[in-house]
Structure 1
Amino acid sequence: MAQSIHEFADDPRNRDIRIYVNGEMKPRAEAVVSVFDSGFVLGDGVWEGLRVVDGHPAFLDAHLDRLYEGAKAIAMDIGLDRAGLTRAIYATLAANGMRDGVHLRLMVTRGVKRTPYQDPRVVVGPATIVIIPEFKNPLPATVERGLKLFTVHVRRGYPDVQDNKLNSHSKLNCITACIQAYTAGADEGLMLDPHGFVATCNSTHFFIVRKGEVWTSTGQYCLGGITRANVLAVCREAGIPAFEKSFSLTDVYGADEAFCTGTFAGVVSVREVDGRVFGDGRRGPMVERLQALYRDWIARDVAARKAQDATT
């Protein structure tokens, strides 16, 4: 059976986690929001997923940049400044005694509505802030065998319809892409842009390797991925030619290697797309190299945050 890149082994410790809900640490069973909440009623909100390494959320500044930019774009007041939200994240980790092997989901919605209606002016209180921390690691089997992708009919659209740069709670187009992919027996759906060029996957970003070069989409029709940007930076530092460009499925099918990126699993190889297998179906040398470089990139970010904390 196909498994998503986000599959993980259940950890019994997650039964007793404390979840941050609007300034309070709630037991899992009591961590609830109102049925009138904007996120529940309309998917009105923004969110971030963060990986915790050695007690610190990796690339926290970049994630907060994206969160606050998204909130500003939809005219939503988060209600906490960056320092306050950072304290909330660390308080949540401390309340759960978490340091490693942890994934955080930070969610902010516009808050509780007076009535179920789309007009954002009918909210009757501040934004809803929820931080869910879980002991969660990607399944080693998924990382080892790589992913199987299927090109879906659901497209990434123009920004005047719904801007793909927004990491919003409204993800129905990605969900329908995911459904088509797993129904076809694949792990992720590969999505095209309105012009028929490769855009991204339903929940990760997509790269190919051709003749020693790393290619990814132009970025015009996908979320501004944190891991995606980091991998491009890793390539630049290591002297690996990397390009953001338009390319078609023909380019994909003829590639030497392919891989996906995301906060949860980092860099994961793709073994096949639409039945076309890359190499011998196993992780290639470029993916292996990038995985090692990306681990070092994470370690450097966490070390810099620890040094910063030591001086404040």
Structure 2
Amino acid sequence: MNDADHVSTHDAAADVRNDTIKIYVDGNIVHRDEAKVSVYDSGFMLGDGIWEGLRLYDGVLSFLDAHLDRLYEAALYLDLDIGMDGDQLTAAIHDTLRANDMHTDVHLRVMVTRGRKRKPFQHPHLSMWGSTIVIIAEHSKPDETMVQRGIRLHTVPHHRGLPLTQDAKLNSHSKLNCIIALNHAIRAGADEALMLDPFGFVNTTNACNFFIVRKGAVWTSTGDYCMNGITRQKVIDLCRENAIPVYERNFSLVDTYGADEAFLTGTFGAQTPVFEIDGREIGGGKAGPVFHRIRGLYKDLIAEQVALAKG
């Protein structure tokens, strides 16, 4: 299968404006060609860092407080001093947007590492100069045709592990387990990997949270072994507020193959339908009514948030 045959929840149309974007690197905002970190940086050397993805809709950073709360909670867990508080980091984000004259349909990646190391070894005390902070903002609008094209998933042997190894709730730079899972799925002819939890229950994909619909009810994993995505939680909340039955529960591939609908959630794509799992067609190979209702409710939620922020 050719690369052109694969789709992704992160598919977006090319935008030439991204060729000249300016990137925030430790207090400086520079042309992308000049945005560099040291080869001794903890993130490059060891994956020792954390990140958040954000969306800008009509001048408003969607669910910013929730994203910052998760970032600072992860930093606390890692004993990583970000070096600025939430207000200062928010100001840096807005500075980056202004430098790029960005107002809507923007995806941002905010990255923090333990910083440059004195020697190329693990010990955190070797990071002697404070954290490294990078903010990349790109003009990026999700491909709306994904609703008609759908995603194909393949269940892989690589699972999301127990918290005593590396807690999957940690949004860290160490994504190798997800990349290995994705490569496995791509070689099987799918677009993304469906990953199980340590006990064999359906969990998440390599990049997004996973939902199924059975008899009008929405199911997702317990959340014990996956990134508890902010979009995931918003979908759960919207279901509860709009009389759509929703369950966070253990379920297996038996339940999944028999689902009426399936979809993914994530900051970039919001909600993306799944049309095939392990070669089995789901929902007749089209987005179902529950997906469309949730997608509409989510768009309304974003519009309400923008209106509220603008007063």
Q: Please state which band the TM-score falls in when normalised by the shorter chain.
A: over 0.9
Q: CA deviation at 1:144?
A: 2.2
Q: Which moved more, 1:275-284 or 1:112-121?
A: 275-284
In structure 1, how many angstroms separate the alpha carbons of the residues matched to 2:262 and 2:140? 25
Residue 251 (structure 2) pairs with residue 255 (structure 1):
no
Q: Structure 2 matches for 1:1-312, cutoff 5 A?
A: 1-307=5-311
In structure 2, how many angstroms separate the alpha carbons of the residues matched to 1:171 and 1:143? 27
In structure 1, how many angstroms separate the alpha carbons of the residues matched to 2:298 and 2:133? 30
- RMSD value over aligned CA atoms? 0.9
Which residue identity is paired with 1:221?
A: Y
Q: CA deviation at 1:171?
A: 0.5
State the identity as a percent.
57
Q: CA deviation at 1:279?
A: 2.5
1:310 corresponds in structure 2 to none
In structure 2, how many angstroms separate the alpha carbons of the residues matched to 1:125 and 1:239? 52
Which residue identity is paired with 1:14?
A: N
Which residue identity is paired with 2:44?
A: F
Deviations 1:171-229 (A, max 9, x none): 01000011011111111100000100001000000000001100000000001201000
Deviations 1:257-309 (A, max 9, x none): 000000000011111111111222111000011110011111222333333xx
Which residue identity is paired with 1:39?
A: G
The question of whether the paired residues in 2 share the 8 Å contact of 1:152 and 1:180 is answered with: yes
SS in 2 for 1:203: coil
The question of whether the paired residues in 2 share the 8 Å contact of 1:145 and 1:283 is answered with: no
Structure 1: tracts of 5 or more residues without a match: 308-312
Which residue identity is paired with 1:78?
A: I
In structure 2, how many angstroms separate the alpha carbons of the residues matched to 1:175 and 1:260? 18
In structure 1, how many angstroms separate the alpha carbons of the residues matched to 2:254 and 2:219? 13
SS in 2 for 1:160: helix
Deviations 1:96-138 (A, max 9, x none): 1101111001000010000111111111211100000001122
Deviations 1:23-73 (A, max 9, x none): 111101000100000000000010001011011210000000100000000
TM-score where L is the length of structure 2: 0.97
4+ residue runs over 6 A deviation: none
> What is the aligned residue count?
307
Q: CA deviation at 1:3?
A: 1.4
The question of whether the paired residues in 2 share the 8 Å contact of 1:148 and 1:186 is answered with: yes
Q: CA deviation at 1:141?
A: 2.8
The question of whether the paired residues in 1 share the 8 Å contact of 2:147 and 2:287 is answered with: no
